[in-house]
């Protein structure tokens, strides 16, 4: 195309002969003559398609893609018996697959004030020491208001239902100060799976007057607000920090969230702390009675006067050995009651394998042990002990004793 235009320009504008044009452009005279005779620029007709080896298996590939649109390309090659170039087969399958795969459109989500709080668990890594000094990857419950982007987070000792409910109640009561119309979760085992909520979750939601919704599998856009905030935590909160205990982690996280909620959000162009003030008016009030949270179970106190709860052993007053006791475990304390009376209260040990002992319980057990081991004394009346008359059995069976 460029040579054709240049030849005609040199001939008509500069008046060069065909021989001179051929010498200047290093072309043959026939090429120059042909370009001058042609009134239209040269065009190249496409070559007719040549059937290759893939055309022999294309029908079989289309049949498999019609029934299994997501079948891996390597499996397709094995099923149709392809023995040629791997890259050529992959290129042709990539050309055919879009016609059989159904697109997964993502709707534009609009979040109204007071409507929803998104919840998720974030794992910062093995950075937090437990009661024994062993660094563990404790879960962090992150809750973000979808409209204002106001965030609250709490580190938890485990991801079991009791701890999740206790963490949600702390975030709602202490962080948001109001109840939204909806709590959005993924398919977390402690919350529920398969369309069935875990034990205690429905009662918790009923006490708060909130609806719990679980996102569908393979639908990450639904919880995009809290997922993006988890990434913000990993890149802006964690770097350069060290922690001595879960309490220290929570204190640093709370101080950082104050600053994070005061920044101007990139999407909403507002400060979350200011937007939350308006959104709180659209939310419902906190319930007049606190919901039931934490782990609760009943057991019979054994002779060693210890109960095992949340992976640790806690001492109980030995005066209730053999009786049924109720154990209540929240995020920070372990309380044991018997017939409505408190018989043990301990600070919860985060981690597993701990043994928490109250010295009062040990002293009471030692006193009871000494009392049990003392020999029996003689009767108080005249220092004599009454002896039973065994002859009554002889008379009963008609036995005569000389």
pLDDT in tens, 47-92: 665 567 888 899 999 999 999 998 999 999 999 999 888 999 999 9
CA distance 13 to 7: 10
150 beta partners: none
Q: What are phi and psi of 214, to 5 degrees?
A: -105, 130
What is the reported pLDDT for 77? 93
Strand-strand pairing, 196-197 and 192-193: antiparallel
Look up residue 110 and give its two tokens. 């609009």
Q: What is the DSSP letter of 390?
A: T
Look up residue 13 and give its two tokens. 């504008």
296 beta partners: 328
CATH (one of 3.40.718.10, 1.10.3720.10, 3.40.50.300, 3.30.420.10) for 116-282: 3.30.420.10
What is the reported pLDDT for 20? 86
What is the reported pLDDT for 389? 72
Report the SS3 class of residue 192.
Answer: strand
CA distance 209 to 181: 8
Domain ranges of the chain: 2-37, 54-99, 116-282, 295-373
CA distance 60 to 70: 15
295 beta partners: 329
345 beta partners: 335
Q: Phi-psi bin for 299: left (phi > 0), alpha (psi -120 to 50), beta? A: beta
What is the reported pLDDT for 122? 95
The sign of the CA dihedral 58, 63, 66, 72 is negative
Structural contact between residues 203 and 196, judged by C-beta atoms closer than 8 angstroms: no
Residues in the chain predicted with pLDDT less than 70, given as ranges, are 1, 44-51, 104, 106-107, 220, 375-388, 390, 392-394, 396-402
CA distance 61 to 69: 10
What is the reported pLDDT for 38? 78
What is the reported pLDDT for 305? 93
Q: What are phi and psi of 375, to 5 degrees?
A: -70, 150
What is the reported pLDDT for 4? 75
DSSP string, 195-208: TEEPTTHHHHHHHH
Burial class (CB in 10 A: 0-12, 13-18, 19+), 249: buried
* End-to-end CA, the chain: 146
The CA-atom distances, in angstroms, between 386 and each of 131, 171, 376, 381, 383 are 58, 69, 14, 10, 10
The sign of the CA dihedral 24, 26, 29, 35 is negative
The CA-atom distances, in angstroms, between 70 and each of 54, 81, 89, 146, 373 are 20, 19, 16, 33, 75
What is the reported pLDDT for 45? 65
What is the reported pLDDT for 33? 84
- Structure confidence by residue, pLDDT tens digits, 224-273: 899 999 999 999 999 999 999 999 999 999 999 999 999 999 888 999 99
Structural contact between residues 155 and 163, judged by C-beta atoms closer than 8 angstroms: no
The CA-atom distances, in angstroms, between 300 and each of 216, 350, 367 are 42, 24, 21
Strand-strand pairing, 341-347 and 333-338: antiparallel
pTM greater than 0.75: no
């Amino acid at each position: 195309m460029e040579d054709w235009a240049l030849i005609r320009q040199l001939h008509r504008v500069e008046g060069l002969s065909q021989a001179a044009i051929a010498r200047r452009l290093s072309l043959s005279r026939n090429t120059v003559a042909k370009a001058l005779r042609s009134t239209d620029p040269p065009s190249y007709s496409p070559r007719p398609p040549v059937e290759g080896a893939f055309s022999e298996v294309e029908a079989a590939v289309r049949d498999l893609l019609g029934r299994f649109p997501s079948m891996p390309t390597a499996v397709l090659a094995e099923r149709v018996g392809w023995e040629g170039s791997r890259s050529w087969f992959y290129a042709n399958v990539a050309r055919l697959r879009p016609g059989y795969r159904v697109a997964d459109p993502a709707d534009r989500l609009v979040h109204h004030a007071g409507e929803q709080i998104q919840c998720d668990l974030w794992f910062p890594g093995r950075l937090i020491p437990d009661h024994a000094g062993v660094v563990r990857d404790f879960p962090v419950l992150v809750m973000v208001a979808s409209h204002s982007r106001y965030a609250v987070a709490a580190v938890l000792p485990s991801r079991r239902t009791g701890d999740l409910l206790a963490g949600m109640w702390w975030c709602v009561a202490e962080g948001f100060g109001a109840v939204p119309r909806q709590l959005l979760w993924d398919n977390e085992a402690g919350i529920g799976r398969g369309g069935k909520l875990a034990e205690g979750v429905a009662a918790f939601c009923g006490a708060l007057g909130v609806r719990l919704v679980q996102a569908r599998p393979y639908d990450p856009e639904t919880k995009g607000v809290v997922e993006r905030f988890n990434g913000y935590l990993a890149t802006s909160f964690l770097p350069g920090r060290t922690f001595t205990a879960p309490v220290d982690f929570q204190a640093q996280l709370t101080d950082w969230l104050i600053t994070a909620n005061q920044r101007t959000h990139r999407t909403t162009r507002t400060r979350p702390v200011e937007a939350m003030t308006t959104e709180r008016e659209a939310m419902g009030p906190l319930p007049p009675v606190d919901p039931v949270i934490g782990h609760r179970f009943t057991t019979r106190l054994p002779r060693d006067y210890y109960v095992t709860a949340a992976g640790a052993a806690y001492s109980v007053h030995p005066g209730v050995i053999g009786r049924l006791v109720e154990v209540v475990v929240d995020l920070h304390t372990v309380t044991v009651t018997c017939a409505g009376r408190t018989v043990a209260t301990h600070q919860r040990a985060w981690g597993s394998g701990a043994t928490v002992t109250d010295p009062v319980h040990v002293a009471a057990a030692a006193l009871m042990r000494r009392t049990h081991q003392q020999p029996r004394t003689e009767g108080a009346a005249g220092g004599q002990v009454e002896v039973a008359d065994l002859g009554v059995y002889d008379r009963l069976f008609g036995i005569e004793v000389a």
